[in-house]
Amino acid sequence: MSGYSKIVVAVDLSTESAIIMKRALDVAASESEIHLIYVQEPMDSVYMGVVPYGPVFVGMDEVEENLKAELTQKLNNIADEFNIAPDSRHFLNGTPAREIHRFAEENGMDLIVLGTHGQKGVKLLLGATANSVLHGSNCDVLAVRIFDAD
């Protein structure tokens, strides 16, 4: 039996999200509360520095809303596949590591589960979300290794 009663699973909505969910369910007890989250980084912060002032382009807000609707559907598809209750599905906005930390702390999570590609070299120095979550978390973190096909 797992000692984790509240688990948050952070996914990037890629095809590997199912692997991460399966691993979270492997370590969960039958009575565990499982939350599924996705964090969308706002487009204006992604493009910060590309355009110094103002929106990146006219209509960016509409594009971002359309993207959010599409990504929300993907989140719901994963949640449906793994029987995650609607009130345990969370679409967040902001910097992924920061929002994962905030969600875990505000909701008293015992474990954060997320994927990692085991980055090396320069990519590791740039900092992956999994690395940032691991080193800033107040609870346990399970980083599920995702192997890239070479």
Number of domains into which the chain is organized: 1
pLDDT digits (tens, 9 = 90+) for 36-90: 999 998 766 555 455 555 555 566 678 888 889 999 999 999 999 999 999 999 9
pLDDT digits (tens, 9 = 90+) for 25-44: 999 988 999 999 999 987 66
Q: Does any domain span residue 150?
A: no
Distance of CA 103 to the CA centre of its chain: 11
Task: Residue 43: give its domain's CATH number.
Answer: 3.40.50.620
What is the span of the domain harbouring residue 122?
Answer: 6-145
Q: Does any domain span residue 20?
A: yes
Give the predicted TM-score (pTM) of the model. 0.82
Q: Does any domain span residue 79?
A: yes
Q: Does any domain span residue 86?
A: yes
Element (H, E) at 44: helix 43-46
Q: What are phi and psi of 44, to 5 degrees?
A: -65, -30
